[in-house]
Structure 1
Amino acid sequence: MPLLPRASAVSKMAVSVGLVRAGWRLSLGVPPCRALWGGFRKKQVEPEVTETAVEVKEEPTLVCPPPCSKKYLPPADLQIRLESHVREIFGPSLPEDWQKAPLKESNLKYRLLAQLAAELCHAVPNSQLHHMCTAGDVLAFYSKQVKDASKFDELCTAKLPSNLKVIWEH
């Protein structure tokens, strides 16, 4: 029987330590442990919602826009335009042959290509940027015509021999 009084003293001490810890947790704003496991949860008060009569307008049906046209026809004065942009960007550091002007500095390259893309409505794709090393490379890129039609569309409109027909249906 000597264990019983001692056990009760230990249990009293455990209870007092537990109360101190609970008070400490509450003072920090930490929820009690039981609240974490679904014990003492506070019911959240939902705000009252008042319904008002509002006309609901039908939203237009979203339709996929047609694909952007990639068609590009180089202008007749492309070389003059490009030369003026290169002279403006490079200034006095431009070599005698402007087409050999190096585009090693990325900020100069960006300024030149951004101005040309805005003016000509045709941008250099990301996959081609590393090929633009000189102003001559930029001139070569912008001198190429880009067709919007696919090879099948070209075959349909081309004059073919009488024994060959291409039927293209979507």
Structure 2
Amino acid sequence: MSDEIAKFESKRSIEERLSEEDLAILHRELCRSYYEHQYSRVAKLEEQSLRMTSMVLTLTTAFLSLGYTYFKSIESTIDSLLGIISLIVIAISLNTFAILFNGRTEGFTDVHKLRAKEIINKFSVEIFDLDKSMPFPPASAIWTRYRIVRAIHWVLIAISILLLPVSYFDVVSDWFISAKSL
């Protein structure tokens, strides 16, 4: 407990020894540091989101194309269909997870951006007004980056679902043709 009191007294004595100009510089530097930290977090979150999307797109494409080719070559119709269905379920699950992950990431990046704007508003109204006078396209725009990524994942989910009847008729017709030739 006495260590905490000593730290508090030490901090208070430092602030008392600083001039008003030094305190203003200190506050400005803290503001700048906090602002940079918030946008550093935004950059890291967006990088994670991009990595997740890239990984899921790659895995989905690989699973559906290579897996479909492999399972179609299996002689047993049931095994072939079960293999294709399992790949479709995996593809849908991966893309659903990516949609949820990107949605959650978007919420966190919005919070960090709001914190950065608030710190500017609190410590430098001129910069805040300048920032406000030159806005980016509104977040309610139809095609934001997060919405484009979500749309890509939804398209892959739709392709996966559409692959189910196509694969069924493809595998069953191959089986039916081979059974007829016997």
- Same structural fold, with TM-score higher than 0.5 when normalized by the shorter chain: no
TM-score bracket relative to the smaller structure: under 0.3
Larger relative contact order (C-alpha < 8 A, sep ≥ 6)?
2
Structure 2 length-normalised TM: 0.21
Query: Rg bigger for which structure?
Result: 1
More helix as a share of residues: 2
Structure 1 length-normalised TM: 0.22
